[in-house]
Amino acid sequence: MILESLIYYFVALFEGIFLIIIGFYLIIIGFYLIYAFKPPLLPFFCFFCFFIVYFVFFIPTVYCEGIEDPFVIVTQISDLSSLESKNIIREAYSGVSGIYMFQCIVTGSMYIGSSINIYGRFYCHLNNLSSNLHLQNAANKYGWDAFNFRVIETCLPADLITREQFNLDILFNNFPAGLIYNFCAIAYSALGYIHTAEAKAAMIGNTNRLGTTHTAETKAAISAAISKAIIGHIVTYETKALIQLNQPNRRSIYVYDLNKKLLGEYLSLRDTAKFLEVSHVTVRKYLASGKPLKGQYILRTSPLS
């Protein structure tokens, strides 16, 4: 990938140098002809110089400026810190599976991902919950308003990996490494994976368990194993966020500054407390009182009008 990008830029560079040298010599020849044949050739010489300047300077510039955007866009949202943008994404893509992209407006760099819940994953990225490190560092540097959020396509959950890989291939085959936030060019997930007959047979030991009655000792051993597996099991930030998103009585917490500019939207008291660097008890207290927290943060459970 990197080799292809280097070849692309070196070819463009040498082509530009070659054209400049040719143009220089052609202009010298033109001056000689004007000197030899005087005024009758002047209009032709002016046209000739215009053509050379256009061909040498304009065409290589267009060729080197960048690669045409090869991605189909279903939706593109900017101004990602605004409540309006977040509401658009939430209403359109909560519980919708598909392929999405973050693109930095400043540098042109891109990150492609997939999710069974596009809005849930969008929320995780914006709140640095299990986000891509390169993307998060860029967001910390430029701010989320320097990014566009693009939904490339929606698809069935079982097709996510195939479609993500298709778009990752486009990304890694057409853009230099410096414009790619993704660490890996290979999409992976166990979602939608179907075990082969051989694998299923190996799992059950080639034995039909239908109708099998477990002994008391076996049941106790199974119960102990399940308890052991659950105790100490670590749930990722993304999983927690998705669980919270799917709660029927969920209420987001909106944090504003004193000018009523939205600073963030959070799914829980603890997420809000982490952002404000206070306890969740303090967050609950100021939500109930309506007073500004630390004299600078307004907390609400519904958007300010």
Residues ≥6 apart with Cβ < 8 Å to 277: none
pLDDT of residue 216: 78
CB 203 within 8 A of CB 195: yes
Task: Dump the DSSP string for 109-174.
Answer: -EEEEEESSHHHHHHHHHTTSS--HHHHHHHHHH-GGGEEEEEEEE--GGGHHHHHHHHHHHHHHH
Separation CA 137–CA 15 (nearest Å): 36
pLDDT of residue 194: 57
pLDDT of residue 201: 63
Mean pLDDT of each 10-residue bin along the chain, 305 residues long: 46 63 71 63 61 49 47 84 89 91 91 92 85 88 92 90 91 88 77 58 54 72 63 58 58 84 80 82 86 88 80
192: left (phi over 0), alpha (psi -120 to 50) or beta: left
What distance, in Å, lies between the first and last C-alpha atoms of the chain? Answer: 49
Strands 298-300 and 262-266: unpaired
Of the candidates 5, 11, 182, 202, the residue with the CA atom closest to the CA atom of residue 99: 182
The token duo for 12 is 């463009």
CATH architecture of 75-179: 3-Layer(aba) Sandwich (3.40)
Query: Could you give the dihedral angle defined by the CA atoms of residues 220, 226, 231 and 232, in that order, rounded to the nearest 10 degrees?
Result: 140
Name the residue ranges covered by the structural domains of the chain. 2-64, 75-179, 253-300
What global pTM score does this model have? 0.47
pLDDT of residue 190: 45
CB 120 within 8 A of CB 96: no
pLDDT of residue 215: 76
CB 278 within 8 A of CB 264: no
pLDDT of residue 153: 92
Separation CA 208–CA 201 (nearest Å): 9
pLDDT of residue 61: 34
Beta bridge partners of 255: 264, 299
